Amino acid sequence: MTSKYVRISVAVVAALAVAIPAAALAKSKTVTLKSSKCPTKIDTKPPGKVGFNCTLKGSGTTAKLSSAFVPNAKSTISGTFKLTVKGKTKTYKMNGPIGPDSQQRIVIKGKYKGKGGAKGTWTSLSPPNDPTGTPSLTLKGTL
């Protein structure tokens, strides 16, 4: 014969087992954030940091982005960027290739990672035939 306390405890544990994975899944929702123009600042002093500073929109949210990346000798770029969403700022690491495409646009297509399993892709693209123009920026992944 089981007591009513054992039955209640089993019910509470079962409810928590369902609620906790649901909360974890809600956090890892894939988002797509975009800006058609994300101004860059290029430091002319070595190591020649490239900074982006703009507001990204999409997936029902707005995020402020700031970054500092360093181009490497092997046509790659790496560094960190910060996103501020709803007053909370998180830092992510990004690295990937940088170079021109067939339309002479400067392309950065990297991967980013952050705490809590956050990961995704970073795609920055300068305007066609204007490598010095203000690039667009798209982040797609989990935050």
pLDDT in tens, 54-107: 999 998 889 999 999 998 878 899 999 999 999 999 999 999 999 888 888 889
pTM of the model: 0.75
**Contacts (Cβ under 8 Å, ≥6 apart) of 3:** none
pLDDT in tens, 99-143: 888 888 889 999 999 999 999 999 999 988 787 789 999 999 998
Q: Tell me, what's the pLDDT at 1?
A: 52
Give the Å distances, CA to CA, from 124 to 33, 65, 95, 115: 12, 13, 12, 23
Q: Which amino acid is at 138?
A: T
